[in-house]
Amino acid sequence: MNTSKRLVEKTCFVEIADLKPHEDVDPCRVACLKTEIEKDSMLKLAIAVDIHTKVILDGHHRLAVLRQIGCKRIPATYIVYSSPSIQVTSWNGIHLTKNEIIQAGLSGRLYPPKTSKHMVQIGNKAEHISAIEKRVNVPLRILLDSV
């Protein structure tokens, strides 16, 4: 995991209002995830955010759930998105570049849900970016206390 250490700057609580989504969310997926998070009474995984722009790379649905619940902050793993070890592909065949994703986040012109798929090269293997997102297991009561 040497590669991941160079890609990850830090994991910390971030104000939800400061984050910039680049794609929309699927309301059905948000509802299912909300049920799961409330059942577990915790958020298990931090979201991935570009360190330079605060554009969300992965975790739009988790953020939507916490926003619905009333949280103002969320655990985020800050990623060095400019790294050549991170590649963007698509779940639905749309070709996107990192620059297009950043521009969507900065402009507020969102792509449809689950458009981008971020992969990271770890050794000889390409894995989903969630492989370098920190497992946080933060109880919801703590996230709600941060309001």
CATH number, domain at 61? 3.90.1530.10
What pTM did the predictor assign?
A: 0.89
Residue 27 counted as domain residue: yes
- Domain annotation covers residue 146: no
42 has which bridge partners?
Answer: 139
Position 21 in a domain: yes
Q: What percent of the chain has pLDDT over 90?
A: 75
> Is 8 within a domain?
yes
Between the alpha carbon of residue 99 and those of residues 105, 107, 122, the distances in Å are 10, 12, 22
Q: Which of 5-14, 31-40, 60-69, 112-121 has the lowest mean pLDDT?
A: 5-14
Q: Where are the alpha helices (DSSP H) in the chain?
A: 2-7, 27-40, 60-69, 98-107, 140-145
Looking at the domain assignment, is residue 98 inside a domain? yes
pLDDT band for position 1 (50/70/90)? very low
Range of the domain at 72: 2-140
Q: Is residue 96 part of a domain?
A: yes
Total structural domains within the chain: 1
The pLDDT tens digits of the residues spanning 45-99 come to 999 999 999 999 999 999 999 999 999 899 999 999 999 999 998 888 788 999 9
Does residue 118 fall inside a structural domain? yes
Residue 145 lies in a domain: no
Q: Give the Cα separation of 15 and 64 in Å (integer).
A: 13
